[in-house]
């Protein structure tokens, strides 16, 4: 089987979006004097979808959500010529080819995200070629079903947060993740607001549902050290990305000082990046996203590393490109799940572009043993609400 064509298209949402709200989610911009609208820089309303065609008529589908226009340009200009004419089963060789030939500028960030999209499409092709789901090529079924945690709970009115948290408990989720609205520039009042929100959610979900806390890099080391002791009484399962992704020593210091697991990795790349995090004991939970970290080829290697370091992998976002990795390793006990709703930050777009992503039942998802590849198809349901850029 030979690759004949690589087609990268941007699906840019032009439909209804939920308007931004102040103090919706702490994030890395918060410490600037002109912090802009909350989450403005992290909102993404376009995805790049990659379709790889072969001489046998099969098509593999990959995706990348970061900086879609730049991802498309990298794929068109640099990556497509490296894989055309090759056998998708040579995925390790092709990964190395893409990684090494873009090494001067592509090791982390959007360069690696673009490689991820191609790699995911290669795995989809391999699964389709042998008529088996991707997880069966990675290690197979290691769990009966995948437990998921409901991940939304942006900072709003506390009654509204409590109502939302209750819906996840009612749906059978045994874990939920909430976001903080305030950071270092909001002073003691912001600290009190942050604590009040955790208290409000914990009150509703009770002690038998795990609670995860998300900072989205909106805090700093000093602020996190001050607030951590006040959070311990709520027994959170983890505190996510308290500081910038590059501050690995900061993660390590925090992870050592508290019983609350510090988590991160959705802005880290390749097995080299994760080896650094693991060597420094910087995180207690690894949260790569397969469509950024280097695709399934890289994520599979990180799973092996995580296993020997004894650190669980709970990938960012859930979604099919991550579920197959969670299913196929004991190192990954659980998945994130973004509930389907109106387009807001942009994570939701996945459900508007693709069909086939499983919906949790009682807090669990399962993968179909009989669906070859990733099990995703492009949906035409919402096509009129996207601008498609070829």
Residues noted as catalytic = 316
Alpha carbon dihedral 384, 119, 358, 42, in 10-degree steps, equals: -60
Query: In terms of DSSP H, where are the helices of the chain?
Result: 68-74, 80-83, 91-101, 103-106, 110-130, 134-138, 158-170, 187-205, 221-231, 248-257, 270-279, 290-293, 295-309, 320-327, 349-353
Helix (H, G, I), strand (E, B) or coil at 377: strand
Q: How far apart are CA 380 and CA 307, in angstroms?
A: 40
Neighbours of 120 (CB within 10 A): 29
Helix (H, G, I), strand (E, B) or coil at 76: helix
| Nearest residue to 237 (alpha-carbon basis) of 208, 216, 266, 257 | 208
Instruction: Report the DSSP pairing between strands 210-214 and 386-389.
Output: unpaired
Tokens read off for 101 = 């030939």
């Amino acid at each position: 089987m030979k690759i004949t064509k690589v087609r990268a298209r941007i699906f840019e949402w032009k439909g209804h979006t939920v308007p931004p709200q102040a103090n919706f989610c702490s994030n890395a911009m918060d410490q600037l004097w002109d912090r802009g609208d909350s989450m403005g820089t992290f909102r993404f309303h376009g995805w790049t979808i990659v379709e790889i065609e072969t001489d046998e008529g099969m098509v593999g589908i990959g995706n990348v959500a970061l900086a879609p226009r730049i991802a498309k340009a990298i794929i068109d200009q640099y990556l497509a010529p490296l894989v055309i004419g090759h056998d998708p089963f040579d995925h390790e060789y092709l990964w190395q080819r893409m990684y090494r030939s873009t090494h001067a500028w592509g090791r982390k960030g959007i360069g690696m995200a673009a490689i991820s999209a191609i790699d995911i499409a290669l795995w989809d092709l391999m699964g389709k070629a042998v008529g088996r789901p991707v997880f069966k090529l990675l290690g197979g079924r290691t769990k009966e079903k995948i437990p998921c945690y409901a991940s939304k709970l942006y900072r709003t009115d506390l009654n509204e947060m409590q109502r939302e948290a209750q819906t996840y408990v009612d749906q059978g989720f045994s874990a939920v993740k909430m976001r903080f609205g305030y950071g270092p520039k909001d002073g003691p009042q912001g600290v009190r607001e942050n604590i009040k929100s955790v208290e409000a959610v914990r009150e509703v979900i009770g002690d038998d549902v795990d609670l995860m806390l998300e900072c989205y890099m909106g805090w700093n080391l000093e602020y996190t050290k001050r607030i951590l002791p006040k959070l311990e009484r709520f027994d959170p399962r983890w505190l996510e990305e308290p500081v910038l992704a590059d501050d690995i020593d900061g993660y390590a210091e925090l992870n050592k000082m508290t019983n609350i697991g510090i988590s991160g990795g959705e802005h880290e790349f390749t097995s080299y990046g994760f080896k650094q995090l693991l060597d420094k004991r910087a995180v207690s939970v690894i949260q790569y996203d397969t469509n950024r970290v280097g695709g399934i080829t890289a994520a599979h290697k990180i799973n092996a590393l995580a296993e020997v370091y004894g650190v669980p992998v709970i990938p960012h976002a859930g979604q099919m490109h991550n579920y197959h990795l969670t299913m196929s390793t004991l190192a990954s006990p659980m998945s994130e799940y973004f509930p389907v709703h109106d387009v807001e930050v942009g994570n939701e777009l996945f459900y508007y572009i693709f069909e086939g992503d499983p919906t949790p039942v009682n807090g669990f998802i399962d993968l179909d043993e009989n669906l070859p590849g990733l099990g995703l198809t492009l949906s035409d349901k919402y096509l009129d609400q996207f601008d498609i850029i070829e």
